[in-house]
Amino acid sequence: MKHASDLSRRRLLLGGAALGAGALLTACTSNEEDEPSGGAQTAAAGNNQNAAPGEKVTIGFSAPAADHGWIAAITNNAKAQAAAYSDVEFKTVEAGADAAAQRAALQTLVAQKPSIIVLLPHDGKELNAFGLEAMKAGIPVVNLDRAFPDPLAYRLQIKGDNYGMGVSAAHYIIDQMKAKNVASPVIGEIAGIDSLELTQERSKGFADTLAQAGFKVGNRRAAEFTADSGQREAASLLQALPKMDALWNHDDDQGIGVLAAIQQANRSEFLMVGGAGSKAAIEAIQADNSVLKATVTYSPSMASSAISLARLIAQNKGMSDLVELQVPKEIILASETITKENASNYLKLGF
Amino acid sequence: MTAQTAAAPVKKDPEKPAAGERRWWQLDSTEGLWRNLALVAVLAILIITGIITKPELYSDGTWVRNNIFTILELASVIGVVTVGMTFVIIGGGIDLSVGAIIALAGVWSTTLATQDYGAGGMIFCALAVGIGVGVVNGILISYGRLVAFIATLAMLVAARGLAAQISGKQTQVSTSDFINGIAANDFLGVPVLVYILAAVVAAGWVLLNRTTFGRRTVAVGGNVEAARLAGINVKRHTLLLYALSGLCCGIAAVMLTSQANSAQAAMANLYELDAIAAAIIGGTLLSGGRGTIIGSLLGVLVFSTITNLFAINNLSTEVQNMVKGGIIVLAVLIQQIQFKAVTQFFAKNSKITTS
């Protein structure tokens, strides 16, 4: 009898502890910041006649649910830009985990008959057929960043310049090396997911441009666009190159891990160039207190621009600075280099 | 020659016929030793390959010392996970959700709300989430009678989903100097991460080899029915095994968060496969009932040494993955064919000569 009551008391204690821990844990899931942060990148110019409310349009939007800051910023930017227009109704569908899921989600979107669809596909090739189908049904498609191979599958394509990122990063490194009089620098590269075309383009632009100056990449490691993989690969790279002059890391999100690895290895003899242009990276460049001296942009602000352009297309307007009465068919953003000097201009574009 | 020496001890030791029929190298206890020696040989080959291909690096003493620590640090997170995984596999189960648990625990412990509680709160949170998810796995498998493969596969998907939900798909940066310092700091010249790995491995070894819990784990994995008839509470024991794996994931989450100074829902990608592969080339039987902690540790070290070797030679990840796959197959083949064949060969011979 006594034994039983002991047991139940112990169970009660255990249960209480578990409940307490559970309550404490659920209190810990909040990510609310104390002060609201800057947030999305929108541009609703006041005196531009195109910004004046026009015909009501419905913009359908779909982007993958990837676990990456850049994709999250794409979705947030699109939402915020659409909210900036009083004449835009914004309908979004999550693209799910792969191309098939996105295709299914897009079918439900088409059934709601939007005026235009803005779409960041999982894979441009796999969703090419959807683009064709929607265009045929009279719904213009704006392809965001991942190109459709078939020109009939989209009305507008707006994307970043992956090859150009490599070129910009290499140019910055070449300039710095020349300024420092380093004749044959040891250059490291930490790429993103190696099987993606965009990673290959970035690396090609980097290697091609370096070759023009007679430089080459000393060691190249491929991470997975995540901070922990960036740390892992950077730790290996630092070990492989005991002395390095420059390092290009393709992605600022994975750069958090790369910088951590550099700090853990106590290294500072080289300069590092980032990629994409995250807020944390731009702030670090501005503060100038780490090896990160520059980053080359691949800005998710393209989602905001895509929504603005989609609205113009749906309203049958052109871009006011251009002579043409219609929005152009293809826009490739330039990859800009952010350094300490111009970092303050870019801070509002960081994600 | 073999026949003569094999026959001799039987005559000397007639009161132990069972032990007499098996030589010391055939005993279960030394079988693990053989496997481990094979892995140590593989490690040695890898290191020698490194010395041959990059003599200019290996000639520098400080570099070699740093490189050993780099390999150990690379192995530390996977090593901790593999200890938990080894217990689960020896106990006849499998845990596919370890990577997802690390991501969930890491994300949960780096939310702004948790970081307000400081390093202690973050560590508590990571461990509690790890154990909690492990307990859910355990309940589903032991009391819900789900197949371990399916239950933990479901948890893999769900936990990563929850992690993505909590983090809002963003990378959460850890601002705690204490947490970030775990990966950056040394104690007496040895990185803190290496101490954690050593402590977890030592605790795992003691738990498996010197406690009733360890004996029961082997018994449950070897034959569930026999274990139940012997009076072991199989269900509760299974639950505890998954909770233990969860705890290891919680520890690993703190370590990985510290290494990357951040956490996100996609972190620890495919760690479950690395941990299972390491346990298996370390000699753990996938069907349960057999395995060693030291073997698993050596398995992890083989993988991290390969990664290091490929990095210093600037070889691509693709080649590295192919070699990894080859090594898994080779290691298992060597263990199965060579040692079984050799021991069976001797066993047959001694039977023929003694009967």
DSSP A72-139: HHHHHHHHHHHHT-TTEEEEEEE--SSHHHHHHHHHHHHHT--SEEEE--S-TTTTHHHHHHHHHTT-
Q: Between A and B, how many CB-CB pairs are < 8 A?
A: 151
pLDDT digits (tens, 9 = 90+) for B132-177: 999 999 999 999 999 999 999 999 999 999 998 898 878 899 999 9
- Give me the amino acid identity at B39: L
pLDDT digits (tens, 9 = 90+) for A76-132: 889 999 999 999 999 988 777 788 888 888 888 888 889 999 999 888 888 999 999
Q: Is the pLDDT of residue A143 over 50?
A: yes
Residue A140 has a pLDDT of 93
Minimum distance, in Å, between the CA of residue B130 and any CA atom of chain A:
12
B interface test, pick of A30, A228, A249 with most B CB neighbours within 10 Å: A228
Read off the DSSP letter of residue B133: H
Do the Cβ atoms of B296 and B282 come closer than 8 Å?
Answer: yes
Contacts of A25 in chain B (CB under 8 A): 108, 125, 128-129, 132
Task: Give the gyration radius of chain A's Cα atoms.
Answer: 24
Contacts of B317 in chain A (CB under 8 A): 194, 221-222
Q: Which residue of A has its CA nearest to B128?
A: A21
Contacts of A263 in chain B (CB under 8 A): 184
B28 in any annotated domain: no
Residue A95 has a pLDDT of 78
A201 alpha carbon, distance to own chain's centre: 16
Contact A30 B111 (CB under 8 A): yes
Q: Which residue of A has its CA nearest to B167?
A: A31
B19 in any annotated domain: no
Count CA atoms closer than 13 A to B314's CA, side-chain side. 11
Total count of residues recorded for chain A: 351
Residue B254 has a pLDDT of 96
The predicted model scores a pTM of 0.83
B interface test, pick of A33, A239, A244 with most B CB neighbours within 10 Å: A239
Residue B178 has a pLDDT of 94
Query: Domain span at residue B86?
Result: 35-346
Helix (H, G, I), strand (E, B) or coil at B128: helix
Residue B35 has a pLDDT of 78
Which residues, in sequence order, are CB contacts of B189 under 8 Å at separation 6+? none
Instruction: Classify residue A125 by burial, with Cβ atoms within 10 Å: 0-12, 13-18, 19+.
Output: middle
B92 in any annotated domain: yes
Between the CA of residue A15 and those of A9, A29, B123, B141, B163, what are the distances in Å? 10, 22, 21, 21, 25
Mean pLDDT of A35-59: 68
Minimum distance, in Å, between the CA of residue A223 and any CA atom of chain B:
9
Of A31, A257, A263, the CB nearest to B168: A31
B10 in any annotated domain: no
Of A24, A29, A227, the CB nearest to B111: A29
Helices then strands, each counted (H, E), chain B: 18, 4
Task: Give the gyration radius of chain B's Cα atoms.
Answer: 22
Contact B262 A72 (CB under 8 A): no
A interface test, pick of B317, B320, B321 with most A CB neighbours within 10 Å: B317
What percent of chain A is predicted at pLDDT more than 90?
54
Q: Is the pLDDT of residue A30 over 50?
A: yes
Residue A34 has a pLDDT of 52
Q: Is the pLDDT of residue A15 over 60?
A: yes
pLDDT digits (tens, 9 = 90+) for A198-222: 899 999 999 999 999 999 999 999 9
Q: Is the pLDDT of residue B65 over 70?
A: yes
Task: Give kind and range of the element (H or E) at residue B12.
Answer: helix B2-12
Minimum distance, in Å, between the CA of residue B185 and any CA atom of chain A:
8
Instruction: Classify residue A289 by burial, with Cβ atoms within 10 Å: 0-12, 13-18, 19+.
Output: exposed
Mean pLDDT of B276-291: 90
Task: Report the alpha-carbon distance of residue B281 to residue B304 in Å, rounded.
Answer: 13
Mean pLDDT of chain B: 87
CA-CA-CA-CA dihedral for B329, B331, B335, B341, to nearest 10: 60
Task: Give kind and range of the element (H or E) at residue B229.
Answer: helix B224-229
Contact A31 B264 (CB under 8 A): no
**What's the topology of domain A162-297?**
Rossmann fold (3.40.50)
Task: Report the alpha-carbon distance of residue A270 to residue A26 in Å, rounded.
Answer: 43
| Residue owning tokens 């007496």 | B188
Residue A202 has a pLDDT of 94
Confidence of residue A61 (pLDDT cuts 50, 70, 90): very high
| Residue owning tokens 């053989």 | B34
A interface test, pick of B262, B273, B318, B319 with most A CB neighbours within 10 Å: B262
Helix (H, G, I), strand (E, B) or coil at B120: helix
Residue A67 has a pLDDT of 62
| Residue owning tokens 């669809």 | A117
Q: What is the CATH number of the domain that holds B73?
A: 1.10.3470
Mean pLDDT of B69-85: 96
B305 alpha carbon, distance to own chain's centre: 15
B41 in any annotated domain: yes
* Total count of domains within chain B: 1
Name the token pair of A351. Answer: 């994600």
Q: Is the pLDDT of residue B212 over 70?
A: yes
Contact A260 B180 (CB under 8 A): yes
**Where do the domains of chain A lie?**
54-160+300-317, 162-297
Residue B109 has a pLDDT of 95
Confidence of residue A242 (pLDDT cuts 50, 70, 90): very high
pLDDT digits (tens, 9 = 90+) for B102-126: 999 999 999 998 899 999 999 999 9
B257 in any annotated domain: yes
Total count of residues recorded for chain B: 355
B5 in any annotated domain: no
Q: Is the pLDDT of residue B16 over 50?
A: no
Which residues, in sequence order, are CB contacts of A348 under 8 Å at separation 6+? A38, A41
Q: What is the DSSP string of B283-313?
A: T--TTSS---HHHHHHHHHHHHHHHHHHHHT
Q: Is the pLDDT of residue B8 over 50?
A: no
B304 phi and psi, to 5 degrees? -70, -30
Give bridge partners of residue A88 from the DSSP assignment: A57
pLDDT digits (tens, 9 = 90+) for B298-352: 999 999 999 999 999 988 888 888 888 888 888 777 766 655 666 666 666 665 5
Residue B4 has a pLDDT of 44
Residue B210 has a pLDDT of 94
Q: Is A162-297 the same fold as A54-160+300-317?
A: yes
Q: Is the pLDDT of residue A37 over 50?
A: no
Contacts of B163 in chain A (CB under 8 A): 67
Of A33, A239, A280, the CB nearest to B67: A239
CA-based nearest residue to A70, from A308, A346, A330, A297: A297
Minimum distance, in Å, between the CA of residue B37 and any CA atom of chain A:
27
**What's the topology of domain A54-160+300-317?**
Rossmann fold (3.40.50)
Mean pLDDT of A239-251: 94
pLDDT digits (tens, 9 = 90+) for A260-280: 999 999 999 999 999 988 888
Task: Report the alpha-carbon distance of residue B124 to residue A224 in Å, rounded.
Answer: 28
B29 in any annotated domain: no
pLDDT digits (tens, 9 = 90+) for A149-199: 999 999 999 998 999 999 999 999 999 999 999 989 999 999 998 888 889
Name the token pair of A52. Answer: 């004046």
Helix (H, G, I), strand (E, B) or coil at B271: helix
Do the Cβ atoms of A273 and A187 come closer than 8 Å?
Answer: no
Of B114, B260, B264, the CB nearest to A67: B264
Read off the DSSP letter of residue B288: S
Residue B17 has a pLDDT of 45
Residue B18 has a pLDDT of 47
Residue A89 has a pLDDT of 92
Contact B171 A69 (CB under 8 A): yes
Residue B198 has a pLDDT of 97
Task: Report the alpha-carbon distance of residue A152 to residue A329 in Å, rounded.
Answer: 11
pLDDT digits (tens, 9 = 90+) for A289-311: 899 999 999 988 899 999 999 99
| CB atoms closer than 10 angstroms to residue A290 | 14
Between the CA of residue B193 and those of A83, A233, A239, B53, B271, what are the distances in Å? 48, 17, 17, 28, 18
Residue B181 has a pLDDT of 93
